[in-house]
Amino acid sequence: MLKRRISAIGAVFVSAALLAGCSAAGAGAGEDGDGKGTIKMVSWPGPEGDAMSKVVDAYNAGQGKKDGVTVDMVLLSRQDTFSKETALMASKSSDMDIYWTASYNVGQYSPSLEPLDGIDTSNYFQVAVDGLSYEGSLYALPLDVSNHFLLYRTDLIEHLLTDETARADYARISAAVLGEAREPKDPNEWDLEDYKAMAAYFSEAENPASPTEYGTILQAKNLLYNTMIWDDVLWGYGGGWAEDGTATLDTEAATKAVELYADIYTNKWTSPDSAQAEFPETQAALQSGSVAFALQWSAAFASLNDPAQSPDVAGKIGIANVPGGKSHVHALSVSLNKYSKNKAAATTWLDYLATPEAMTLYAEAGGIPAMPAVLEANTDINPAFAQVSSTIASGYSVPVFPQTFQAYSKIAEDLSGAWVGQTPAAEALATANANLQELLDQ
């Protein structure tokens, strides 16, 4: 158990202090607190914070009373949570006992966090555990997992698959786009070439009879989270960010990944608004029926399938794996502040959060827990849980290093122009590769 690990660390510290002839002040059992009282935990507004608040309420009203621990959840701004935490960490503050963290910043934050090496990780997705580990130590407890799906219009695909005229049109368009005629497939069988041909088929610019104006929408805005979406294409072509500490954005796979975006954009198989699109714009395009499919975050499905929120498409949205078979996975998480004055009580709470019971409450409250067994047992709550579980099992995580978060931003800055055909792919990738190497070397 995590608690025992922290106690062991405290015991080592006490022994060292006594050997050095130090007084008990500032060391010993009091170093981690007495295991009781109120602890403060950072969270952020939104579905994850909403779900967590219900778990906190349940704990404080039940198990927390037995433990003698009360959790005070502190909501910071969704936009500024990490910058405020960075400031607290820089000052070695003990104001917060537990920080809100994520796969993409745990390496950067690790000097201010207590390793959680004693925790049993067998209940979690391994990719989530890997993404929260740095230099051999786990620095955060997985909480919520995010991945991507291909979300598509089932009615439009069903027509294409069964109508002979539509199939012939698709074969003709795919031959023009790919240089080979293809048969239309179920979206779960698409590779990235099918994705490209389908984008053309469902676009009026290529197919005046298309039922949608555009085939898809690209999240091509200069935004770090859009790098995570583009990474699916990069990994799908067999590429990645780095190998053995050397940046690998100058490869053929990276070139193909950039050129796929640029081809779709410049051929008008996506809206020109893609240059400024991210999650909300993609959601709006799917809800309005202006596109036939899109790569989108897993959290999007529930609202698209809700008649109140998406009256035109609810019940017509299907879920498929990302073409190419690779989905980015990151975990939102919670971490123990290295400078907390009440680590013992904080670890009691973290031990509770690590139970399937706590994560079942989290799922019931709208979260997407990082525990496959909990997702599979609760598909009646959210039909997407089953697909989340199978997709994450084959997901990937980017390399964890102190500048991971900055790397996401820099890649978006360097490549977003090339994604929409404004900058040659080779030139943009050379710049991105050099900048990534610089961050890897820091």
Give the model confidence (pLDDT) of 179-218 as tens digits. Answer: 999 999 999 999 999 999 999 999 999 999 999 999 999 9
Task: Identify which has the larger pLDDT, 382 or 116.
Answer: 116
Q: What is the pLDDT of residue 28?
A: 38
Q: What is the pLDDT of residue 306?
A: 87
Residue 146 — pLDDT band, cuts 50, 70, 90?
confident
Tens digit of each residue's pLDDT (9 = 90 or more) over 388-419: 887 887 788 888 888 988 999 999 999 999 99
Query: What is the average pLDDT across 218-236?
Result: 95
Is domain 148-328+402-441 classified as CATH 3.60.20.10?
A: no
H/E stretch holding 427: helix 425-441
Q: What is the pLDDT of residue 401?
A: 85
Q: What is the pLDDT of residue 13?
A: 33
Q: What is the pLDDT of residue 22?
A: 32
**Does 29 have pLDDT greater than 80?**
no
Under DSSP, the state recorded for 249 is: T
Extract the tokens encoding 81.
């949570």
Extract the tokens encoding 406.
């900055």
**Does 131 have pLDDT greater than 60?**
yes
Nearest to 103 by CA among 339, 416, 363, 335: 335
Query: What is the average pLDDT across 417-439?
Result: 97
Nearest to 241 by CA among 361, 112, 407: 407
Q: What is the pLDDT of residue 15?
A: 34
Q: What is the pLDDT of residue 14?
A: 34
Q: What is the pLDDT of residue 113?
A: 97
Q: What is the pLDDT of residue 384?
A: 81
Query: Where exactly does CATH 3.40.190.10 map onto the chain?
Result: 37-147+329-394, 148-328+402-441
Tens digit of each residue's pLDDT (9 = 90 or more) over 290-333: 999 999 988 788 789 889 999 999 999 999 999 999 998 888 99
Q: What is the pLDDT of residue 7?
A: 42
Q: What is the pLDDT of residue 350?
A: 96
CB 370 within 8 A of CB 125: yes
Query: 37-147+329-394, which class in CATH?
Result: alpha beta
Residue 47 — pLDDT band, cuts 50, 70, 90?
confident
List C-alpha distances in Å: 289 to 146, 218, 294, 327: 24, 15, 11, 24
pTM of the full predicted structure? 0.78
The answer for residues whose C-beta is within 8 angstroms of residue 341's C-beta and 6 or more apart is 33, 94, 97
Query: What is the average pLDDT across 100-121?
Result: 91
Query: What is the average pLDDT across 76-99?
Result: 92
**Does 173 have pLDDT greater than 70?**
yes
List C-alpha distances in Å: 250 to 241, 258, 427, 430: 10, 11, 10, 6
Cα–Cα distance, 196 to 264 (Å, whole number):
7
Burial group, residue 87, by CB count within 10 angstroms (0-12, 13-18, 19+):
exposed
Cα–Cα distance, 417 to 222 (Å, whole number):
8
